[in-house]
Chains A and B, each alone.
Chain A
Amino acid sequence: MPPELSVVLAAVALPFVAAVSTPVLYRLLGERTGYAGVAVALASFLLLASQRGTEGPVGLEWIPSLDIALRFYLDGWGLLFAMLACGIGTLIFLYSPAYMHGEPHLARFYTALLAFMGSIVGVALAADLIAIFLFWELTSLCSFVLIGHYTADDSSQYAARMAMFITVGGGLFLLVGLLMLSIVAGDVVGPDAAFNLAAMLETPEAMADGLRERGLFLPVLGLLAIGAGTKSAQVPLHFWLPNAMAAPTPVSAFLHSATMVKVGVYFIGRMRPILVGEEWLFLFATLGLTTMTVCAIMAVAATDIKELLAYSTASHLGLMVAGFGFTSIYGAETGVFHLLNHALFKAALFLVAGIVAHEAGTRNIDDLSGLRHDLPVTALITVIVALSMAGIPPFNGFYSKELLFEAAVEASHYHDIGVLGWLYPAVAVFGSIFTVLYSLRFLSLFFGDRPDALGHVHRPSTTLVVAPGVLAILAAAVSIRPQLAVDAIVQSGVDATALEHHEMHAGLPTSYSTPVGMSAITIVLGLAAYPFYGRIHDGLNAALAAAPPIAANWWYDAIVGGLTGSGARIGDRIHNGLLRTYATWTLLGTCGLALAGFVAAGTVASSELIDFDAAPAVALVLLVAVVAGLAVALSDSHIAGVLTLSILGFMVAIFYILASAPDLALTQLVVETLVLLIFLLVIEEIPEYYEVSLGKYARDAVVSLAVGVTAFITVLVTTDARPEGSTDIARVYAEQAVPEGGGTNIVNVTLVDFRGFDTMGELVVVAMAAISILTLIVMRSGGDDE
């Protein structure tokens, strides 16, 4: 059954419409704007829920001439992700008003949060490569605003910049990958499906073969992996995610649990049917397991409860990526099921962390303990979700982790991967031991003795507890009857990400198998190591302090710092405030790029200079122009220079007339006159005489020669490109000018009728130049421009 276009559009557009109207809503509702967000998120959720069971593409035309459309594709996988974003979004909006009480810039906060949710839903449902990219980068932009919510705070700025730099940068890699994909799709699926992901997913084998044939399989895989890896915080680009905890807690809960960081995982799942294979296994299983282990270890080293949860998020993202990396059906089951489970328990954990920080006034793990006396309900919630995160049976995290072990063991059956067949399961177990450790550590906040230093802990307001409570109840429901979740949504998600169909079953194991043994080892070792948690934690921190290059953050700081420093040094050289320096660099840069382009395209060699033929009148006019050019260089006063320069300009105008281009000639004449007048207007202000060294003369000679040569070669190359007269497009313009545009002046008809969009762009340039000059002169503080 195909989905309903209007419903899908409404679900995607609603958050954006609400985001735009937030300033008005905020004026009406004040801090209660969050509850309006609840309504919007819930409405989107219900709209999406009504489309459950439907599958297929729907879309609107957007840019038909380029075959780009606002296309959406609904299937179990997209629906699962979009509904998670809306569902958890509902709870986040419910939680925010109480948590963000009294904070500044709430209107901006809710605007960004709504737009953020909308773009996540957009990524989940979009089936057009361009639309996917737009929504993808929109999530990065919104998260930049959200992470940097405390604009005055340095760490907040730093974190927002880092997240933006990494995720938007990764998005550009993704863009290149998507374009390569579209080139292949244009050949394989059909020219009108070049950007249509839904059509590509219908013939995944043909797409994979097409990619391999053209040698683009590995580049596309690599580029998409970089895009998805940066977004989903995979090693070595995982460090932005823990820094992103500078955001307010509701944002962290939303960003880290359900949405943006999972966009990468989601996309890996989406592309899985097309790209799955041996390279896929090596890349994503290795990447995911490394991330899972490294970040689990980093979580144990964390001293702040949000930092612990953030590293744990990165670690679990690694688990999902690894799951999708394994090519067996268990891999797809791991990825899809864990995406759901992780969203349930991690969103709840972040909200709990927010309650603890809000009510106890600190986020330092060492200062917090025995909170169950003050926060009994929160403690109960935490027990469920923390044990789920640890993967202890029968909590829901256990089922998906069990599937990962199963997939890791199965990997060696499907592919001949040698020692990796041992290494993958071993690393999965090793990483999971740390998961158990830090989960128990988080749980211990609520147990043990209450430290005396901890002041009075307030009771959280009801709305703060409801959101994590709902999530905990859902997690508990999935824990007790996992098959319920599987039937509801996971099965259809698995079908969409795997090549073959397989009835999925989830439940507690009834007999011994290798994965059960692995789970037992994980839990037993984790429990056994827990008493030594303090020593492990201190040891890890000591190692990090002793050798900073171990931390990826250090590399980021070193590279960005180095770039900033060298940027400033280059800036001082090029932007030294003298117009002639700017002109020199700009002209030489342009010449260099143009000439390099001609050489790279191999067009310079093909030009022939021998066949030179000109009418005597043209030759005479050009000769006068050359003489005038020489006279400009030799003139000793500015007035003489300007006048001789305009001789050159007017000669060029005459040349245009002789070459029957009256429009060009008119333009040249008018512009030449205006320039002459402006020169005359300003010439009195220019000093009569400069002291110019010989070196400057040489430099100017080189620059002018370079510019002249470039212009000459450019004219040669561009006019030589059409030896047989006018091109097709020129002929079409000439023939269609009167019937289509109703004007006999082809130049003008081309400018306004055929290429109006170009002219519009030029208008904007003129307007922007005027505005920037106004701004520069008006905003300059007076007197210091000498």
Chain B
Amino acid sequence: MTTVVMRTTARVVVPIILVVSISLFVEGHNLPGGGFIGGVLTTTAFAVIYLAFGLDFLERGVLGRDVDPGKEPSRDRVVVAYRRLFEYGLAIAVLSGLVPLLFGLPFLTQTFVIFEHVPIYGEIEIASALAFDFGVYCVVVGGLLTILSVVGAE
């Protein structure tokens, strides 16, 4: 699938997908989107890269490492990073749930604050749920990418 058409399309499309996925994640609390959808879309961007440039492209082309194609994918630096990502994501989600306990509230209680008169934006709402949602995002991206690259390398 590593044709010129595919590569050129990927170069254009991948950044757009990533930006859209991040905006979906950030906007999730008020508009359609959220951690899960954003996470799957981010994974899709990576899948397009894999499809266009091959599995070892991230290692070799981006990180500049020399790897044997298709050997021991689980030890590769990117796979280790993906694994870390979902581990940290799970930790973030759990920790964000534990914080309310310090204030004597039940596990996973969420709250929100609205800041008014912020320059340019006007009104910004910060919800504690965003931290939890970020954990969701990390777990989805890390988990799916781990599965994708490990199984894909087979």
Give chain A's interface residues, CB within 8 Å of chain B. Answer: 662-663, 665-667, 670-671, 673-674, 677-678, 680-682, 741-745, 747-749, 751-753, 756-757, 759-760, 763-764, 766-767, 769-770, 773-774, 777-778
Determine if A767 and B30 form an interchain contact, defined as CB atoms under 8 angstroms apart.
no
B4 beta carbon closer than 8 Å to chain A: no
Pairwise interchain contact B40-A667, C-beta atoms closer than 8 A: yes
Contact count band on B? 35 or more
From 13 to 43 in chain B, residues with beta carbon under 8 angstroms from any chain A beta carbon are: 24, 28-37, 40-41, 43
28 A-B contacts (beta carbon < 8 Å): A666-B32, A666-B33, A667-B40, A674-B40, A681-B1, A682-B152, A742-B111, A744-B31, A745-B34, A748-B28, A749-B29, A749-B129, A752-B29, A752-B34, A752-B110, A757-B107, A759-B132, A760-B97, A760-B108, A763-B93, A763-B136, A766-B139, A770-B86, A773-B146, A774-B83, A774-B146, A777-B73, A777-B154
Q: How far is the CB of B69 from chain A (nearest CB, A)?
A: 15
Report if A743-B90 is in contact (Cβ < 8 Å); known contacts: A678-B47, A753-B129: no
Q: Which residue on chain B has the smallest CB distance to residue A756?
A: B108
**Distance to closest chain A CB from B149 (angstroms):** 10
A678 to B149 Cα, complex, angstroms: 10
A757 and B108 contact, CB distance less than 8 A: yes
In the complex, chain B residues whose CB is within 8 Å of the CB of A743: 29-30, 112, 127, 129
Q: Are A663 and B40 in contact (CB under 8 A)?
A: no
CB pair A770–B30 under 8 Å, yes or no, is: no
Contact with A along B128-154 (1 / 0, CB 8 A): 010011011001101110111011101
Contact B86 A773 (CB under 8 A): no
Asked if A741 and B86 sit within 8 Å, CB to CB, the answer is no
Closest to B145 in A: A770
B129 to A767, Cβ gap below 8 A?
no
B51 at the interface (CB under 8 A from A): yes
In the complex the two chains form, is A777's CB within 8 Å of B34's CB? Answer: no
The 7 closest A-B pairs by CB, nearest first: A742-B112, A743-B29, A756-B108, A770-B143, A662-B32, A752-B129, A677-B47
CB atoms of A777 and B129 under 8 A apart: no
Asked if B114 CB lies within 8 Å of chain A CBs, one says yes
Q: Are B89 and A763 in contact (CB under 8 A)?
A: yes
Q: Are A770 and B132 in contact (CB under 8 A)?
A: no
State in angstroms the CA–CA spacing of A748 and B97 once bound together.
16
Interface string of B109-121 (1 = CB under 8 A from A): 0111010000000
- Whether the pair A678, B148 counts as a contact (CB closer than 8 A) is yes
Q: Are A670 and B83 in contact (CB under 8 A)?
A: no
Residue numbers in A under 8 Å from B146 (CB-CB): 770, 773-774
Cα(A764)–Cα(B91), bound, Å = 11
A770's partner among B136, B147, B152 (CB-CB below 8 A) is B147
In the complex, number of A-B residue pairs with CB atoms less than 8 Å apart = 139
Give chain B residues whose Cβ lies under 8 Å from the Cβ of A674.
Answer: 40, 43-44, 47, 144
Measured CA separation A743–B114 after assembly (Å): 11
A10 to chain B, nearest CB (A): 23
Cβ contact of B125, chosen from A666, A742, A770, A774, cutoff 8 A: A742
Q: Knowing A666-B32, A742-B112, A773-B151 are in contact, say whether A671-B93 is a contact too (CB < 8 A).
A: no
Q: In the assembled complex, which residues on chain A have CB atoms less than 8 Å from the CB atom of B31?
A: 744-745
Give Cα A679 to B108, complex, Å: 37
**A681 and B147 contact, Cβ closer than 8 Å, known pairs A663-B34, A763-B136, A766-B140:** no
- Quick one: given A680-B51, A774-B146, A777-B74, are A745 and B33 in contact (CB under 8 Å)? yes
Inter-chain contact A666/B37, CB cutoff 8 Å: yes
Q: Which of B29, B33, B41 contacts A742 (CB 8 A)?
A: B29
In whole angstroms, how far apart are the Cα atoms of A666 and B151 in the complex?
Answer: 26
Output the least CB separation between B132 and chain A (Å): 5
Q: Are A670 and B129 in contact (CB under 8 A)?
A: no
Check if A766 sits within 8 Å of B154, measured CB to CB: no
Assembly CA distance A747 to B34 (angstroms): 9
| A751–B34 touching, CB < 8 Å | yes
Known: A678-B148, A767-B90. A745 touches B29 (CB 8 A): yes
A751 to B107 CA separation, bound complex (whole angstroms):
15
B99 at the interface (CB under 8 A from A): no
Q: Which A residue sits closest to B30, measured CB to CB?
A: A744
Max chain A CB contacts within 10 Å: which of B73, B87, B132, B152? B132
Residues of A contacting B114 with CB < 8 Å? 742
Chain B hits for A769, CB < 8 A: 143, 147
Which residues of A are found within 8 Å of B142, using beta-carbon distances?
A: 770
Given A666-B33, A743-B30, A748-B34; 11 other pairs, CB 8 A cutoff? A662-B32, A677-B48, A678-B148, A680-B51, A749-B129, A752-B34, A752-B110, A752-B133, A763-B139, A770-B147, A777-B151
Given A743-B127, A770-B86, also A763-B135 (CB < 8 A): yes
A778 touches B74 (CB 8 A): yes
Q: How far is the CA of A677 from the CA of B146 in the complex (A)?
A: 16
Q: Within the complex, what minimum Cβ distance (angstroms) separates A615 from chain B?
A: 21
**Chain B, 69-88, contact with A by CB distance < 8 Å: what is the 0/1 string?**
00001100000000100110
Q: Distance in Å from the Cβ of B5 to the closest Cβ of chain A?
A: 14
Least CB separation from A742: chain B residue? B112
Which of B30, B111, B112 is close to A745, meaning CB atoms less than 8 Å apart?
Answer: B30
Question: Given contacts A671-B40, A681-B50, is CB(A663)–CB(B32) below 8 Å?
Answer: yes
Bound-state Cα–Cα, A753 to B34, Å: 12
Residue of A nearest to B135 (CB): A763
Does B58 touch A at the CB level, under 8 Å?
no
| Of listed B32, B125, B146, residue having the most chain A CB within 10 A | B32
Contacts of A744 in B (CB 8 A): 29-31
In the complex formed, the residue of B with least CB distance to A663 is B32
CB-nearest residue of chain B to A65: B106
A-chain residues with CB within 8 Å of residue B127 when the two chains form the complex? 741-743
CA distance A448 to B114 in the complex (A): 91
* Closest A residue, CB atoms, query B20: A670
Q: How far is the CB of A675 from the nearest CB of chain B, in Å?
A: 10
Bound Cα distance A477, B122 (Å): 85
Q: Which residues from A are CB-within-8-Å of B139?
A: 763, 766-767
A198 to B71, CA, bound (A): 63
Q: Which chain A residue has the least Cβ–Cβ distance from B55?
A: A681
A773-B40 contact given A682-B152, A741-B110, A767-B90, CB 8 Å threshold: no
Chain B hits for A747, CB < 8 A = 32, 34
Closest to B86 in A: A767
- Nearest-Cβ distance from residue B33 to partner chain A, whole angstroms: 7
Whether A748 contacts B74 by the Cβ 8 Å rule is: no
